[in-house]
Amino acid sequence: MDLKNIAKKIIALKDADLKLRDQLIQKGELGEGYHAAMETLHTQNAKTLAKIIDHIGYPTIDKVGQAASEAAWLLIQHSIGHPHFMKRCVQLLETAVQEQKAAPRNLAYLSDRIAFYEGKPQLYGTQFDWDKNGKMSPQAFDDLTKVNQRRKAIGLNTLEEQTQVIRARVARERQKPPEDSEKRKRDFEEWRKKVGWI
């Protein structure tokens, strides 16, 4: 398969991912946990993308273009049931960023996402979830001043500004906090163990 067709395939995978997310939002089924249909799609997409990466390496902008490179990053972000794949990709992405073939912002998001699932503090504060008061809030991070310095260095807004942006989006999408936050927390811990994050 040539790079143009690979780029189209990656974008098609991303489009299917976002379409399913929109459908779940419309039905009010986003937020209670990892939806089974979404988990299945994310797994299929991760397997397909892993094969592509085996074939061409990380889908950098110079190989597949801006749109497909961004799409690949989104698919990796969503491959949360596959820790080894995500960790492999973050190393490849680090190299791509050093070679100026991928956006530093994408590396920040992916690094934070891995830290969140491993139960470690984020460096950029990019990962949000429902807090115990039913508000969408940034997950654990190391230090607000340092987080905002790091965010500024790669062209991101402040964490305070981003919190407002995320909460506005959640309200627009009519997402609701989980009915039983303790159960959701227990389910999340079991899931993290099952897939190998902890």
How far is the CA of 67 from the CAs of 15, 44, 80, 115, 182, in angstroms? 11, 20, 22, 26, 39
Which pLDDT score, from 0 to 100, does residue 188 have?
93
Query: Residue 101 burial by CB count (10 A; 0-12/13-18/19+): exposed, middle or buried?
Result: middle
Could you say which residues of the chain have pLDDT below 50?
none
Q: pLDDT tens for residues 75-107? A: 999 999 999 999 999 999 999 999 999 999 999
Whole-number Å distance between alpha carbons of 157 and 34: 28
pLDDT in the model for residue 27: 87
pLDDT of residue 78: 97
In this structure, are strands 136-138 and 128-130 parallel, antiparallel, or unpaired? Answer: antiparallel
Strand residues in 29-122 grouped as ranges (E): none
Question: What is the pTM (predicted TM-score) of this model?
Answer: 0.94
pLDDT at position 28 is 82
User: Bridge-partner residues for 129, per DSSP?
Assistant: 137
